[in-house]
Amino acid sequence: MLGLKLPTDPRWVNIVEKNIEDILTDHAFCEQKAASTAISLIVSFPEYTELVQEMTALVKEEISHFKMVHDKIIERGWTLGRDRRDDYVIELLKFFPKGGSRTTQLVHRLLYAALIEARSCERFRLLSEELQDKELAKFYRNLMVSEANHYTMFLGFARKYGEKKEVDAKWQELLVYESEIMSNLGKKETIHG
Ligand SMILES: [Fe+2]
Ligand SMILES: [Fe+2]
């Protein structure tokens, strides 16, 4: 599914289930970061008209996801906690060299976004299938569908703006690199942990 090379160990859901409050806070900030990424793509690449249009729509959608998660936190009588560092994202960024042409930089940022969407989607699917809390399982099922569309959109833009063969090769390399990061994760109550 989604081209990912290493599926998440389903036991990760058992860890999550013991700390729903923490996963919801972490998840809320993932949605905020997705909205921020879309805004920063608009700022960095304003001449890519179609991208700017799609990113504008995406900002709204991601911030609405943030609100959905925030509402869930309030519903359960909790308060949004502080954001914590995301080791997965830090490791992922190391894959991309600094510099290169403007197109290369754009392609890298699109592939990075595509991968985070793909992994988030896979994690949401697992939550939707394995959570004992059926109400929350349904919530994750709905979100899973949107994130799958985001993954294909980002990958589509990378292929459109970059050289397709090179982009596909880079994507495959990135998937292998990501599976190595993932092999050390799956042990924390965070969306990517
Ligand atoms: Fe989202
Ligand atoms: Fe997304």
CA of 124 to the centre of ligand 2 (A): 11
Query: Which percentage of the chain shows pLDDT scores above 90?
Result: 87
Rounded Cα gap, residues 180 and 193, in angstroms: 13
Residue-wise over 89-108: b if at least 16 C-beta within 10 A, else e?
Answer: eebbeebbeeeeeeebebbb
Q: Which residue has the tokens 């399982």?
A: 137
Q: What is the pLDDT of residues 159-190, one digit of tens each?
A: 999 999 999 999 999 999 999 999 888 778 78
| Mean pLDDT across the chain | 95
Tell me what pLDDT residue 1 has.
Answer: 58
Nearest ligand to the C-alpha atom of residue 149: 2
CA dist 51 → 14, 116, 120, 157, 161 (Å): 38, 18, 21, 8, 10
CA of 31 to the centre of ligand 1 (A): 5
Nearest ligand to the C-alpha atom of residue 150: 2
Q: What is the pLDDT of residues 44-90, one digit of tens each?
A: 999 999 999 999 999 999 999 999 999 999 999 999 999 999 999 99
Nearest ligand to the C-alpha atom of residue 55: 2
Q: Are 178 and 72 in contact (CB under 8 A)?
A: no
pLDDT-based confidence at 134, cuts 50/70/90?
Answer: very high
Tell me what pLDDT residue 192 has.
Answer: 86
Average pLDDT over residues 21-28: 96
Q: Helix/strand/coil (H, E, C) string of the chain?
A: CCCCCCCCCCCHHHHHHCCHHHHHHHHHHHHHHHHHHHHHHHHHCCCCHHHHHHHHHHHHHHHHHHHHHHHHHHHCCCCCCCCCCCHHHHHHHCCCCCCCCHHHHHHHHHHHHHHHHHHHHHHHHHHHHHCCCHHHHHHHHHHHHHHHHHHHHHHHHHHHHCCHHHHHHHHHHHHHHHHHHHCCCCCCCCCCC
CA of 150 to the centre of ligand 2 (A): 5
Nearest ligand to the C-alpha atom of residue 66: 1
Output the six-digit token pair for 187: 């042990």
CA of 147 to the centre of ligand 2 (A): 4
Nearest ligand to the C-alpha atom of residue 148: 2
Residues 6+ apart with CB under 8 A from 46: 52
Closest-CA residue to 75 (of 36, 133, 35, 125): 133
Tell me what pLDDT residue 57 has.
Answer: 98
CA of 76 to the centre of ligand 2 (A): 24
Nearest ligand to the C-alpha atom of residue 61: 1
